[in-house]
Chains A and B, each alone.
Chain A
Amino acid sequence: QVQLVQSGGGVVQPGRSLRLSCAASGFPFSNYVMHWVRQAPGKGLEWVGVISPDGRNTIYGDSVQGRFTISRENSRNTLYLQMNGLRTEDTAMYYCAAAIFDDWGQGTLVVVSS
């Protein structure tokens, strides 16, 4: 069955960087767009960005544009979110999601705090 297993969260100081990973299995990963979505504690969902199946095209939400980079390694069936210049307001649970949001990772918590 489809699995999206996330890793890489943790506590980081403002201004620092962190990379999240999302390992996919059970479906032809290289054929599908992939998304990142985040959820601040006690808040709603916020779309972070998307990457095309071949990894050549990405689009980001305004709040992360220029600081976050989505990439993928199709040979490893893995999606990444590189987060630079982290701010306290980036504190959230981060989810990867496939295609039409039909499958989601378990989420990984990122806490930005000094």
Chain B
Amino acid sequence: EIVMTQTPLSSPVTVGQPASISCWSSQSLLHSDGNTYLTWLQQRPGQPPRLLIYKVSNRFSGVPDRFSGSGAGTDFTLKISRVEAEDVGVYYCMQGTQFPYTFGQGTKLEIK
């Protein structure tokens, strides 16, 4: 099973400031089909998760462009260029390269 590790686990950020979340996988997420199936999800309090980024850097429809994803192999990053109050929640990375799919522990984004 691929283990996903996120840091930090908690991130207090001032509105308007940038935020960054790192995610590491215990094995390369490069699939034999040439794609890297690393996904970022946001879960606001009391809500189901919401897709932000798929295949490392592809922003899903309707996701603000202040969210961006990058990385390759085993190291990945989610960046928020300017945090807004509505960004409060828990962010998860997830790998879909190998079964069973696995999630990171989650990073709680809070507003200072």
The residue that A59 contacts in the complex, of B50, B90, B100, with Cβ under 8 A, is B100
Question: A62, B100: Cβ atoms under 8 Å?
Answer: yes
Proximity bits, A41-75, B CB within 8 Å = 1, else 0: 00011110010000000011110000000000000
Chain B residues with Cβ below 8 Å from A46 are: 103
Q: B41 an interface residue at 8 Å Cβ cutoff?
A: yes
Which range holds the interface residue count of chain B? 20 to 34
- Min Cβ gap A49→B in Å is 8
- 17 A-B pairs within 8 Å (CB atoms) are namely A35-B101, A44-B105, A45-B41, A45-B43, A50-B101, A59-B100, A62-B100, A95-B48, A100-B39, A100-B96, A101-B49, A101-B94, A102-B51, A102-B60, A103-B51, A104-B48, A105-B48
User: Does A101 contact B39, Cβ atoms closer than 8 Å?
Assistant: yes
Judging by beta carbons under 8 Å apart, are A45 and B60 in contact? no
Chain A residues touching B, majority SS: strand
Residues of A within 8 A of B60 (CB): 102
* B53-112 interface with A by 8 A CB criterion: 54, 60, 90, 92, 94, 96, 99-106
Residues of chain B within 8 A (CB-CB) of A102 are: 51, 54, 60
